[in-house]
């Protein structure tokens, strides 16, 4: 019992150790029609029959009344581009659904068997699938966000920026249907040149920085920022040793220099995993951000 109280006290203390840069001042009252319940369509295949690997998604449909179209979010899990599953993001998907957002929680192909840009192509295909099912799920395709953590945040950030910069990574699976209207990204690797040729990045990109520098540039969100990028909500732990906090700080600054709106929510005294586990206040601020950006 004493241990439980100590844990609660620690979580309470941590929740107060945050900094929200570029937060709306004063806070706005923007909101989306909430839903008391939701339906989950589990284990749907979102890839075409000729895709290299069958990939699945869970779709969370808010029980909002009427026939009005709702915003959606593409939800992507972390795991160093090599593991974990969409189960990690189930609680976030449920939270989105309760806020009236259709949440599409996906898996993607893993390195080292599949190297970049295979994972980006998977997400581009997932976006096309959302558009194909927009009528059935009552999705407003002009209001789709990307939500991810760690490598999942890297992928949704890259998806959003590539769709805005019109570069070669748009082909052959991108284009207008891959465009995102807002991004929530936590613990995000934004500049892959910053990593010291670690195993995960090398296996994801197929070589070291010296061997495949163009891969590092193509896969770095910072290299794709344009004034047409969508707004970003970034959250990051200041003690993150896996993806240091300067990834978020430098990215936030670069977005601002390009005239792109972004917010940076710093969770102090937390590392990469503890940021994800104690993300409560950050996600609440992120939900308010999505309400502002995806509201009618």
Contact criterion met (CB below 8 Å) for 150 and 72: no
Pick the CATH number of 2-294 from 3.40.50.1820, 3.10.129.10, 3.40.710.10, 3.10.580.10: 3.40.50.1820
What is the pLDDT averaged over residues 181-194? Answer: 98
Which carries the bigger pLDDT value, residue 166 or residue 191? Answer: 191
pLDDT tens for 29-44 read 567 888 779 999 999 9
Whole-structure pTM value: 0.93
Mean pLDDT of 88-100: 97
| CB 94, CB 34: distance < 8 Å | no
Q: How far apart are CA 204 and CA 115, in angstroms?
A: 5
> pLDDT per residue over 109-150, tens digit each?
999 999 999 999 999 999 999 999 999 999 999 999 999 999
Chain-centroid distance of CA 213 in Å reads 25
Greater model confidence, 61 or 172: 61
Tell me the per-residue pLDDT of 249-278, one tens digit each, with 9 for 90 and over: 999 999 999 999 999 999 999 999 999 999
CA distances from 168 to 101, 173, 174, 258, 289 (A): 31, 11, 10, 21, 30
Residue 8 confidence (pLDDT)? 39
Cα separation, 36 vs 27, in Å, equals 24
pLDDT value of position 134:
98
Reading the block at residue 14, the tokens are 């941590």
* DSSP labels, 145-210: EEEEETHHHHHHHHHHHHHHHT-GGGTTT-SGGG--SEEEEES----GGGS-S-HHHHHHHTS-TT
Between residues 284 and 15, which one has the greater pLDDT?
284
pLDDT of residue 175: 86
Residue ranges of domains in the chain: 2-294
Report the percentage of the chain scoring pLDDT > 70: 93
Asked if residue 25 has pLDDT above 90, the reply is: no
CB 233 within 8 A of CB 160: no
Helix, strand, or coil here: 134?
Answer: helix
Percent of the chain surpassing pLDDT 90: 83
């Amino acid at each position: 019992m004493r241990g439980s109280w100590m844990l609660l006290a620690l979580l309470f203390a941590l929740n107060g150790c945050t900094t929200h840069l570029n937060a709306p001042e004063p806070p706005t009252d923007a909101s989306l029609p909430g839903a008391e319940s939701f339906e989950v369509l589990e284990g749907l295949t979102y890839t075409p029959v000729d895709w290299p690997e069958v990939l699945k998604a869970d779709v969370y449909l808010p029980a909002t009344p009427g026939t009005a179209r709702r915003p959606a979010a593409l939800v992507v899990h972390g795991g160093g581009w090599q593991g974990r599953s969409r189960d990690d993001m189930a609680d976030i998907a449920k939270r989105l659904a309760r806020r009236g957002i259709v949440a599409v929680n996906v898996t993607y192909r893993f390195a080292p068997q599949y190297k970049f840009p295979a994972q980006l192509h998977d997400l581009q295909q997932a976006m096309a699938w959302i558009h194909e099912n927009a009528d059935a799920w009552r999705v407003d395709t002009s209001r789709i966000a990307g939500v991810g953590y760690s490598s999942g945040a890297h992928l949704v950030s890259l998806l959003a920026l590539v769709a805005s910069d019109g570069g070669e990574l748009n082909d052959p699976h991108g284009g207008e249907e891959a465009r995102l209207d807002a991004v929530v990204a936590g613990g995000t690797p934004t500049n892959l040149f910053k990593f010291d040729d670690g195993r995960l990045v090398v296996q994801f990109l197929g070589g070291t920085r010296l061997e495949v520098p163009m891969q590092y540039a193509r896969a770095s969100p910072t290299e794709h920022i344009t004034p047409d990028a969508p707004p970003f909500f970034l959250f990051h732990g200041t003690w993150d040793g896996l993806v240091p906090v300067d990834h978020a700080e430098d990215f936030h600054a670069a977005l601002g220099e390009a005239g792109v709106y972004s917010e940076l929510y710093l969770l102090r005294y937390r590392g990469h995993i503890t940021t994800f586990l104690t993300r409560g206040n950050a996600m609440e601020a992120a939900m308010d951000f999505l309400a502002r950006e995806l509201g009618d």
